[in-house]
């Protein structure tokens, strides 16, 4: 059965716009009790059909697979195999991230015996209510498709369904096929046709003509329209169509984390990042918008500033999305369509429309003011330790337009969203649907595997680094060199800042010894050398303390013969401004601490701006 599984996966192809390619680029795995005699044997026997990649952590390999799929615009992907028990459940966090971000990954966890004869086996979860339960049932809520293969012939129906979901723009996410370890090794006379090349055509769905006409009417009747571009624009390769549409209609474009890069930073219609982590220009243009055109966007709380970004009580929304749930958000007129197809059709329908000269002038003024402000925020300060925004600017300047920056969690994503100047649709890769600490290095590996000709800059804080750094070893082993910029702030700087904003004074967020007098973690800093740790994992190490040494280190890392780490201390308290956007983070309604009481009063003022219904 395991041999049939591998052979089937190797025969799958995707096709869009006439471009055909293998669906699977290989399989990651850690072998153990539950897959070593099944899937591992099949990969060994069929290594010419399905490349095998060794990793160090099961969660990390799912992040790597998700990043690989994202870089390929969801047209190619990787599979992941694990042992039963902890090997399987280690993938849960990665599965949740993939599904939340609508990225296809195929998960193949080993499972208990289908025969149940030796039960309970090592690492089996026993239930007093059913024998049809294992830890792999935990994957059900975080998978878009889930099945347990009790008989080898069940692959004949389950695998095509799994491929259908993986290749669906609207339904994709994590797909889990739980594989009982005895069933993996059982034989069945599979029909030869099962292993024939199969092409999964990724269609460009077209919107309903009447709905598109209504959308065109809303656009023609608007005075202060704005476009919010999400990840769907990139996945449908709609950036050129978006630029043409926005430019001819005079509609400014804002970008979500997943959509950043859809516009060059210096495009005349680009006003930068949207929402809580957005630019001052985006904040100002949203405040008075009378029409919001959401393209391939989930409209999360960060994008809408927890539903406080749009102040016009009559603002209308158009939702262009392949996912029905997203298209209807904020009482939008739903255009259920591929982003590129919808933009091209709308462009024809609104031919001749353009916003008023006064609005275009305002867009240009806001754009110019934002460029000046971002220059100010990232300007060299000479401070030691360095300011994070200045580090971002230095990395941005050291990179080439086609290079990729990767990040996921902490304070870095917010500042990258605002300050990174994207020059290529695939040059910005920040996982922010789940904002998963530990994604960065594993995700960077997936990006590099998908685009080996690009330099990949992984920007990671010390908190995320400590959660999952071991895929440095994999990058060295497989010869996928990364440039890792490790910003060391001595603790959980992002959540420390959030803690202070809600009156909790950064409690439990600094990396310090426990003070025996206070009983708190407010003693001396820990003597941890993360740079030396990275070097011990096989990376080249370069240290920096100021702008000059950082530029030298970045140049050396770019020229290194394998994965390189640039270690630089940064000021945990120095942050780029927030430009007036609000994020709903509840503050304790009852507290004896005055600072919490004050934070609660400020929170209640913020909630007054929140729209309760659209």
Three-state secondary structure of 94-142: HHHHHHHCCCCEEEEEEECCCCCCCCCCCCCCCCCCCCCCCHHHHHHHH
- 575 assigned to some structural domain: no
Closest CA to 418 of 572, 275, 232: 275
User: What pLDDT does 611 receive?
Assistant: 86
User: What pLDDT does 239 receive?
Assistant: 98
User: What gap in Å lies between CA 252 and CA 274, rounded to an integer?
Assistant: 11
Residues 533 and 559 in one domain: yes
Residues 22 and 152 in one domain: yes
- 302 assigned to some structural domain: yes
Which of 201, 226, 252 delimits the end of a domain? 201
Residues 473 and 546 in one domain: yes
- 298 assigned to some structural domain: yes
Give the CATH number, domain containing residue 321.
Answer: 3.40.50.1220
- 469 assigned to some structural domain: yes
- 498 assigned to some structural domain: no
Residues 274 and 362 in one domain: yes
Q: How far is CA 113 from the centre of its chain?
A: 35
Query: What is the DSSP code (8-state) at residue 194?
Result: G
User: What pLDDT does 403 receive?
Assistant: 98
Please provide the average confidence, as pLDDT, over all residues in the chain: 96
Q: How many domains does the chain have?
A: 3
Q: Which domain holds residue 282?
A: 209-371
User: What gap in Å lies between CA 293 and CA 277, rounded to an integer?
Assistant: 19
Which of 345, 371, 397 delimits the end of a domain? 371
Give the CATH number, domain containing residue 483.
Answer: 3.40.50.970
Q: Name all contacts of 51-54 with Cβ < 8 Å and 24+ positions apart.
A: 51/25, 51/26, 51/27, 52/26, 52/27, 52/28, 53/26, 53/27, 53/28, 53/29, 53/78, 53/474, 53/478, 54/28, 54/29, 54/30, 54/474, 54/477
Q: How many CB atoms lie within 10 A of CB 118?
A: 11
User: What pLDDT does 564 receive?
Assistant: 98
pTM above 0.95, yes or no: yes
Residues 185 and 247 in one domain: no
Integer CA distances (angstroms), 69 to 76, 166, 179, 188, 380, in order: 6, 10, 23, 32, 37
Residues 94 and 180 in one domain: yes
Sheet holding 12-16, edge to edge: 19-22, 12-16, 198-201
115: Cβ contacts below 8 Å, ≥ 6 apart: 182
Integer CA distances (angstroms), 245 to 231, 251, 345, 348, 450, in order: 17, 8, 10, 9, 30
User: What pLDDT does 573 receive?
Assistant: 87
Q: Diameter of the chain by CA atoms?
A: 77
User: What pLDDT does 504 receive?
Assistant: 87
Residue segments in the chain with a per-residue pLDDT below the cut of 50: none
Which tens digit of pLDDT belongs to each residue from 170-214? 999 999 999 999 999 999 999 999 999 999 999 999 999 999 999
- 510 assigned to some structural domain: no
Residues 123 and 64 in one domain: yes
User: What pLDDT does 517 receive?
Assistant: 92
User: What pLDDT does 575 receive?
Assistant: 86
Residues 222 and 350 in one domain: yes
Integer CA distances (angstroms), 199 to 80, 123, 165, 203, in order: 22, 38, 14, 12
- 2-10 and 155-166 helices, crossing angle to 10°: 40
Residues 178 and 258 in one domain: no
Q: Is residue 58 within a helix (H) or strand (E), and if so which, with residue range?
A: helix 58-71
- 593 assigned to some structural domain: no
Residues 14 and 134 in one domain: yes
Residues 213 and 196 in one domain: no
Q: Is residue 418 within a helix (H) or strand (E), and if so which, with residue range?
A: helix 412-419
Residues 531 and 563 in one domain: yes
Which tens digit of pLDDT belongs to each residue from 10-63? 999 999 999 999 999 999 999 999 999 999 999 999 999 999 999 999 999 999
């Amino acid at each position: 059965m395991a041999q049939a599984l591998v052979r089937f996966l190797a025969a799958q192809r995707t096709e869009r716009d006439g471009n055909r390619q293998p669906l699977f680029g290989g399989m990651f795995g850690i072998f153990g009790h539950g897959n070593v005699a099944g899937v591992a044997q099949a990969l060994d026997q069929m290594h010419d059909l399905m490349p095998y990649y060794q990793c160090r952590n099961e969660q990390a390999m799912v992040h790597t697979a998700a990043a690989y799929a994202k870089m390929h615009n969801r047209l190619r992907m990787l599979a992941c195999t694990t042992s039963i028990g902890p090997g399987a459940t280690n993938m849960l966090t990665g599965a949740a991230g993939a599904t939340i971000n609508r990225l296809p990954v195929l998960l193949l966890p080993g499972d208990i015996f289908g025969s149940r004869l030796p039960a309970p086996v090592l690492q089996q979860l026993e239930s007093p209510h059913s024998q049809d339960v294992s830890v792999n049932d935990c994957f059900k809520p975080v998978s878009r498709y889930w099945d347990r293969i009790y008989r080898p012939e069940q692959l004949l129906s389950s695998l095509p369904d799994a491929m259908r979901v993986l290749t669906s723009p609207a339904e994709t996410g994590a797909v889990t096929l739980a594989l009982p370890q005895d069933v993996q090794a059982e034989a069945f006379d599979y029909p030869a046709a099962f292993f024939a090349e199969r092409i999964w055509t990724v269609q460009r769905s077209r919107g309903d003509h009447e709905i598109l006409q209504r959308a065109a009417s809303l656009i023609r009747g608007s005075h202060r329209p704005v476009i919010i571009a999400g990840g769907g624009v990139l996945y449908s390769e709609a950036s050129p169509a978006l630029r043409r549409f926005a430019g001819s209609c005079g509609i400014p474009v804002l970008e979500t984390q997943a959509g950043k890069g859809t516009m060059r930073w210096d495009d005349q219609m680009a006003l930068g990042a949207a929402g809580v982590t957005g630019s001052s220009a985006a904040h100002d243009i949203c405040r008075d918008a009378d029409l919001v055109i959401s393209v391939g966007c989930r409209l999360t709380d960060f994008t809408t500033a927890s539903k406080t970004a749009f102040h016009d009580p009559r603002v209308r929304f158009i939702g262009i999305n392949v996912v029905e749930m997203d298209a209807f958000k904020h009482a939008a007129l739903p255009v259920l369509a591929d982003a590129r197809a919808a933009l091209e059709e709308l462009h024809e329908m609104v031919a001749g429309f353009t916003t008023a000269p006064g609005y275009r002038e305002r867009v240009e003024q806001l754009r110019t003011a934002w460029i000046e402000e971002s220059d100010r925020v990232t300007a060299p300060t000479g401070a030691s330790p360095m300011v994070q925004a200045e580090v971002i600017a230095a990395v941005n300047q050291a990179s080439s337009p086609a290079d990729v920056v990767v990040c996921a969690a902490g304070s870095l994503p917010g500042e990258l969203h605002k300050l990174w100047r994207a020059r290529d649709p695939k040059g910005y890769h920040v996982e922010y649907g789940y904002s998963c600490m530990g994604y960065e290095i594993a995700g960077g590996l997936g990006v590099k595997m998908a685009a080996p000709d690009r330099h990949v800059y992984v920007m990671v804080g010390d908190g995320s680094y400590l959660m999952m750094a071991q895929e440095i070893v994999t990058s060295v082993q497989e010869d996928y060199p990364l440039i890792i910029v490790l910003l060391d702030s001595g603790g959980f700087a992002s959540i420390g800042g959030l803690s202070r904003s809600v009156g909790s004074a950064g409690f439990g967020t600094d990396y310090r010894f426990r003070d025996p007098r206070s009983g708190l973690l407010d003693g001396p800093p820990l003597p941890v050398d993360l740079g030396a740790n990275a070097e011990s994992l096989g990376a080249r190490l370069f240290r920096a303390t100021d702008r000059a040494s950082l530029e030298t280190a970045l140049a050396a890392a770019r020229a290194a013969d394998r994965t390189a780490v640039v270690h630089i201390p940064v000021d945990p308290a120095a942050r780029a401004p927030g430009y007036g956007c609000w994020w709903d983070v509840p503050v304790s309604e009852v507290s004896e601490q005055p600072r919490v009481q004050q934070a609660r009063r400020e929170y209640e003022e913020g909630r007054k701006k929140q729209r309760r219904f659209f």
